């Protein structure tokens, strides 16, 4: 972490700057082709694998996704809603931002265990079958949202993916101390 002028630690990432798109992109706006997003994401993935190895890349992507998930929660979701209403709001927001179509297959309110699918996801929908899952950023993103809402640590693992032959990405989310 960097330090500000007062010597206090601060995130290098300036969240407000990320969301001030209107001024900087007056004519082009917010949208861009998914292919450009994927080119950015997968070139970073490949570079991290070459420099640090696959396990480190996965850890970095999950960590970054969790940070983004917490910020997404703070900026877009109402944590005071009851679980079903919260999940409905999350579904709506992910559609609105064109991240994907969230479906809740299971959410056990007692244990916190959830199984979620995301159709037409931003990261890999349409990929050929490579035999492995690739949505590590999404694992962290979902964990960050669930952690922010429940105040519990989550471990999220992608169990099905376009890249391993499925037509949706399926995530198994468990509270950390329950794992």
- CATH of residue 116's domain is 3.30.1380.20
Task: Count how many domains the chain has.
Answer: 1
pLDDT tens per residue, range 113-148: 999 999 999 999 999 999 999 999 999 999 999 999
Report the C-alpha dihedral over residues 33, 70, 73, 99, rounded to 10 degrees: 20
Whole-angstrom Cα distance, residue 117 to residue 104? 6
Contact 114, 84 (CB under 8 A): no
* Range among 8-12, 26-30, 145-149 rated most confident: 145-149
For the beta carbon of residue 117, count every other beta carbon within 10 angstroms.
19
pLDDT tens per residue, range 77-106: 999 999 999 999 999 999 999 999 999 999
pLDDT at 99: 96
Whole-angstrom Cα distance, residue 171 to residue 156? 6
What integer best gives the mean pLDDT of the chain? 91
Which segment of 18-27, 63-72, 110-119, 120-129 scores lowest on mean pLDDT? 18-27
> Which domain, by its residues, includes 35?
2-178
């Amino acid at each position: 972490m960097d330090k500000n002028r007062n010597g206090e630690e601060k995130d290098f990432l300036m969240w407000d700057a990320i969301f001030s798109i209107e001024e900087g992109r007056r004519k082009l706006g917010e949208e861009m082709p998914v292919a450009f997003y994927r080119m950015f994401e997968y070139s970073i993935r490949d570079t991290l694998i070459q420099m640090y190895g696959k396990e480190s890349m996965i850890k970095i992507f999950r960590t970054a996704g969790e940070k983004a998930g917490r910020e997404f929660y703070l900026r877009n979701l109402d944590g005071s809603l009851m679980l079903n209403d919260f999940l409905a709001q999350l579904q709506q927001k992910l559609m609105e931002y064109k991240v994907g179509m969230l479906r809740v297959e299971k959410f056990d309110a007692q244990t916190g265990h959830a199984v979620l699918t995301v159709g037409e996801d931003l990261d890999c929908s349409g990929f050929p079958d490579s035999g492995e899952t690739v949505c590590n950023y999404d694992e962290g993103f979902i964990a960050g949202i669930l952690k922010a809402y429940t105040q519990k640590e989550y471990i999220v693992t992608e169990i099905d993916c376009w890249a391993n032959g499925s037509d949706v990405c399926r995530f198994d989310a468990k509270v950390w101390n329950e794992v």
